[in-house]
Amino acid sequence: MLWKFALASLLLRHTSSSQARAEQKPVTLQHNKPPNIVFILTDDQDVHLSSLDYMPFVRKHILEQGTYFNKHYCTTAVCCPSRATLWSGKASHNTNITDVNPPYGGYPKWVVNGFNENYLPVWLQEAGYNTYYTGKFFNVHTVENYDSPFAAGWTGNEFLLDPYTYNYMNSTFQKDKQPPVSHEGEYVTDVMAEKAYGLLDDAVHAANKRPFFLTVAPTAPHGNIQMNGSALDPDHTLEHTAPIPAERHRHLFKDVKVPRTANFNPNHPSGANWLLDLSLQNRANIEYNDHFHRQRLRSLQAVDELVDSLIYRLAAYDILDNTYIVYSSDNGFHIGQHRLQPGKSCGYEEDINIPLAIRGPGVAANYTTDIVTTHTDLAPTFLQMLGIPLRDDLDGRPIPITEPEIGEEQRTRREHAGVEYWGFAGGEGIYDKSLHENNTYKAIRLFGPGYNLYYSIWCTNEHELYDMNADPGQLHNLLSPSSLTSTPPSINGHPIDKVVSRLDALLLILKSCAGASCREPWKELHPNGNVWTLADALSVKYDRFYEEMVKVEYDFCDNGYLIEAEGAMWETHGKMFWREGLRWDVWT
Ligand SMILES: *[C@@H]1O[C@H](CO)[C@@H](O)[C@H](O)[C@H]1NC(C)=O
Ligand SMILES: *[C@@H]1O[C@H](CO)[C@@H](O)[C@H](O)[C@H]1NC(C)=O
Ligand SMILES: *[C@@H]1O[C@H](CO)[C@@H](O)[C@H](O)[C@H]1NC(C)=O
Ligand SMILES: *[C@@H]1O[C@H](CO)[C@@H](O)[C@H](O)[C@H]1NC(C)=O
Ligand SMILES: *[C@@H]1O[C@H](CO)[C@@H](O)[C@H](O)[C@H]1NC(C)=O
């Protein structure tokens, strides 16, 4: 038992600045032990507002010791649907968890749709892992419904529950099968840090000596929500304000402002649909939004300290080198770009391009890769890291984590991220809290040699195309009626409508894909395997095939994934055309 005392006194002496000592400790490599995973999942954390630049411990322990994936995308840019995708390994059109609240989303729908018995932690347990979770799990996982049923798959849990999930100073946690406990007046991330350290201790001391998977899911830098009434009551009201930092971080970053990129509060409206009606933000609004931004960065400081302490503990337990540490967020965030108030749920780069960093056995240190990865890839990635067989019904493909694997995938990995959304968008600041209806769209983000594109179709059947090599801020929609006259004639030497015909067919596949057809969508269109990339598909011999292919369109706007609203589907209209209209073997 002596070593336990030694560890305890070591941990007691630990402060945030003492991590260097831990990393200097000689490390015993545990080659014959299966690896562990610690997954840190923040909420609404951006890439494009530079939040990672303000997290020195995440940089030092994870980015500098691991690999950063700078083209990582969420596929549905809002909390609950994105988490459902992450935990099930399926795109939102396959989970049909498309909103944060019932009837289209939330924990009750997750359970009804059968995922509580069939998702990542359940598979990990079946494969011999102990699984632990603290933090936000799903929206509408509440003090009333947490036990009906209990979330399956966790060896130990300390869930944050609604209606207090986003309440930084009045959280409620629920441990294992016990009743919820209120932490009124305590700072939520610090409470969660203690829970995380406790779960790590449980994992290390588990009697069955199994390897572990531990998730820590802080709410920062999400806004603070004071919810009035039950989250289960559709009439509940809520007050959404800037996130609240820990007292010790309130004074930081007084001069920091939202980066003034070209798309920040632009002089002309940009985007499509309801975004075109947004007005220019006045000075008071901008100052408030800069404050909102600083509160986000301040709220992330307690997360940064939590990461530092977790690393310190893993090192003290001598398991750091045998543990993968994965850092990501459920979705991104915008403040002021395209004149938007603070929020998410758009398809633009700020909302969908999100942090992903991984360190661990075999992972290249201080390395950045630009292979395209998405949240549908995370479940297969976790399985592959732990040597657990993949399941064929997963919509994603494992993310390569060693340098040779990344090099290989640079040649073969798909070029796109498929993006989808149904329902509303809402501002989270104090200026304009209105809900924007008809925020239903599908999109593709695509990178290839000479191509850096975003293509989207809204439920109003408006189209967008941005050539992001020329227009990284997505300010010039090449398909807007007004720009059609002044549009440059081509992208990478190809007429725009030719490029669009290919992107549209790819989107037709992606909008209803499942399993293999999500992983290799071009193969649906070209089963003989001649086409793997946009560049391949642009061959003149396919011009007529793509011109005549049915197009993606909506029949009407709805807040959920209703087949009746979704227009032509590949399985019916597309394949029919492909078989009968133009025999594919002639064209492919
Ligand atoms: C804090 O949460 C508890 C329930 O956990 C509730 O009874 C109390 O009213 C809340 N306090 C405030 C100030 O909202
Ligand atoms: C909170 O709920 C009470 C009772 O339902 C209501 O009277 C009050 O106006 C609500 N407050 C807010 C801020 O929504
Ligand atoms: C990481 O790489 C950067 C340059 O790419 C270098 O300046 C820095 O010193 C490196 N850090 C470590 C810990 O190796
Ligand atoms: C949303 O779209 C529907 C058509 O699908 C239309 O009837 C309705 O007016 C639109 N609402 C707004 C606010 O634009
Ligand atoms: C998705 O769920 C909604 C609400 O339960 C339902 O109306 C809709 O038909 C479902 N969509 C599909 C494609 O199953």
Residue 267 sits in a domain whose CATH number is: 3.40.720.10
Counting from 1 in the atom list of ligand 3, the atom nearest the Cα of 365 is 14
Domain membership flag for residue 440:
no
Looking at the structure, tell me whether residues 243 and 134 fall in a common domain: yes
Domain endpoint, select from 367, 397, 415? 415
79 tagged catalytic? yes
Asked if residue 460 has pLDDT above 60, the reply is yes
Mean per-residue pLDDT of the chain: 92
Would you state the pLDDT for residue 324?
A: 98
Q: What percent of the chain has pLDDT above 90? A: 86
In terms of phi and psi (left: phi > 0; alpha: psi -120 to 50; beta: otherwise), the region of 250 is alpha
H or E stretch covering 195: helix 188-204
Looking at the structure, tell me whether residues 359 and 469 fall in a common domain: no
Looking at the structure, tell me whether residues 211 and 322 fall in a common domain: yes
274 neighbors 218 (Cβ within 8 angstroms): no
> Could you tell me which of 402, 340, 395 has the C-alpha nearest to residue 369?
402
Domain membership flag for residue 439:
no
- Residue 170 Cα to ligand 1 midpoint, Å, equals 6
Looking at the structure, tell me whether residues 475 and 541 fall in a common domain: yes
Domain endpoint, select from 358, 392, 415? 415
Counting from 1 in the atom list of ligand 3, the atom nearest the Cα of 65 is 13
Q: What is the pLDDT of residues 34-64, one digit of tens each?
A: 999 999 999 999 999 999 999 999 999 999 9
Looking at the structure, tell me whether residues 467 and 574 fall in a common domain: yes
Domain extent for 484? 449-587
Looking at the structure, tell me whether residues 19 and 154 fall in a common domain: yes
Looking at the structure, tell me whether residues 409 and 525 fall in a common domain: no
Looking at the structure, tell me whether residues 93 and 209 fall in a common domain: yes
In the chain the first and final C-alpha atoms are separated, in Å, by: 69
Would you state the pLDDT for residue 528?
A: 86
- Residue 64 Cα to ligand 3 midpoint, Å, equals 7
Looking at the structure, tell me whether residues 196 and 270 fall in a common domain: yes
Looking at the structure, tell me whether residues 52 and 182 fall in a common domain: yes
Q: How far apart are CA 447 and CA 443, in angstroms?
A: 13
Ligand 5 binding pocket mutation candidate from 98, 110, 562, 571 (most atoms within 8 A of CB): 562
Domain endpoint, select from 415, 438, 472? 415
Q: How far apart are CA 584 and CA 383, in angstroms?
A: 36
Q: How many domains, the chain?
A: 2
Domain membership flag for residue 443:
no
Counting from 1 in the atom list of ligand 1, the atom nearest the Cα of 226 is 14
Catalytic residue, from 79, 80, 513, 557: name it.
79
Domain membership flag for residue 345:
yes
Answer whether 0.85 is exceeded by the pTM.
Answer: yes
Domain membership flag for residue 563:
yes
Looking at the structure, tell me whether residues 405 and 453 fall in a common domain: no
Q: What percent of the chain has pLDDT above 70? A: 92
Is the CB–ligand 1 distance for residue 189 below 6 Å?
A: no
Q: What is the pLDDT of residues 332-370, one digit of tens each?
A: 999 999 999 999 999 999 999 999 999 999 999 999 999
Ligand nearest to the CA of 226: 1
